[in-house]
């Protein structure tokens, strides 16, 4: 078993070490962003994060910047859903981490609830994809929206971002909470 503190070691670096070593087993990350990745002979064969699996889970791996990592060698993936080479996974992790950066500045606290502001007009023209994102506004936290939406996590936040920038939605503390919005 391998254990790593991801505040000291970057997740992509630890994953790269395991992939290049041709390892097989389960990588489990526990912290603010939890994830599981199964490896078979240095290949990623299954991933799960925030209720997502496969490629959508891989997209969320770019968010991991802390927590505890445990690698349990020899564990088989219960339901392999990926067949990706190590180079493509590592390259995608780097691309995804960069793509997340501006969204994480805007949506830094996923426990906050997006809600419509008084500037919102129900007659506001929106696309189908925007409607799918906006239909969850006011009903749950950003994290729960990401878990429940059929849209990819980054796509969901990208669709919400212009409405937040225009002052049509805002992030507020969860109901019955003493959290102060940022």
Q: For residues 15 and 50, give the distance between their C-alpha atoms in angstroms, rounded to a whole number.
A: 19
Output the pLDDT for position 161. Answer: 97
Q: For residues 177 and 91, give the distance between their C-alpha atoms in angstroms, rounded to a whole number.
A: 40
Output the pLDDT for position 95. Answer: 80
pTM for this structure? 0.78
- Interstrand relation of 113-116 and 169-172 (parallel, antiparallel or unpaired): antiparallel
Can you state the angle between helices 153-165 and 54-61, rounded to 10 degrees? 60
pLDDT means over runs of 10, the chain (182 residues):
88 89 95 90 92 88 86 93 81 81 91 96 94 96 93 93 97 77 53
Domains parsed from the chain with CATH numbers:
2-104 (no CATH), 107-172 (1.10.10.10)
Q: CA 75, 39, 13 angle in degrees (round to 5)?
A: 120
Tokens of 113: 């609830």
Output the pLDDT for position 32. Answer: 79
Residue whose structure tokens are 């506001």: 124
Output the pLDDT for position 177. Answer: 64
Nearest to 81 by CA among 56, 55, 54: 54
Nearest to 174 by CA among 118, 110, 117: 110
The dihedral over CA atoms of 94, 98, 104, 106, expressed in degrees to the nearest 10, equals -170
Nearest to 27 by CA among 104, 89, 87: 89
Output the pLDDT for position 49. Answer: 92
């Amino acid at each position: 078993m391998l254990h790593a503190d991801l505040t000291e070691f970057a997740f992509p670096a630890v994953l790269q070490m395991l992939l290049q070593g041709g390892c097989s087993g389960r990588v489990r990350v526990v912290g603010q962003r939890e994830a599981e990745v199964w490896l078979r002979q240095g290949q990623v064969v299954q991933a799960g994060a925030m209720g997502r699996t496969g490629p959508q889970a891989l997209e969320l791996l770019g968010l991991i910047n802390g927590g505890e990592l445990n690698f349990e060698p020899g564990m088989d993936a219960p339901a392999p859903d990926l067949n990706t080479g190590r180079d493509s996974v590592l390259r995608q992790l780097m691309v995804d981490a960069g793509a997340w950066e501006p969204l994480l500045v805007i949506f830094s606290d996923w426990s906050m609830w997006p809600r419509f502001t008084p500037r919102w007009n129900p007659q506001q023209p929106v696309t189908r994809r925007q409607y799918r994102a906006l239909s969850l506004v006011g009903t749950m936290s950003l994290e729960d929206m990401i878990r429940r939406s059929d849209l990819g996590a980054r796509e969901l936040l990208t669709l919400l971002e212009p409405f937040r920038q225009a002052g049509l939605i805002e992030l507020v503390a969860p109901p019955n909470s003493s959290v102060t919005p940022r």
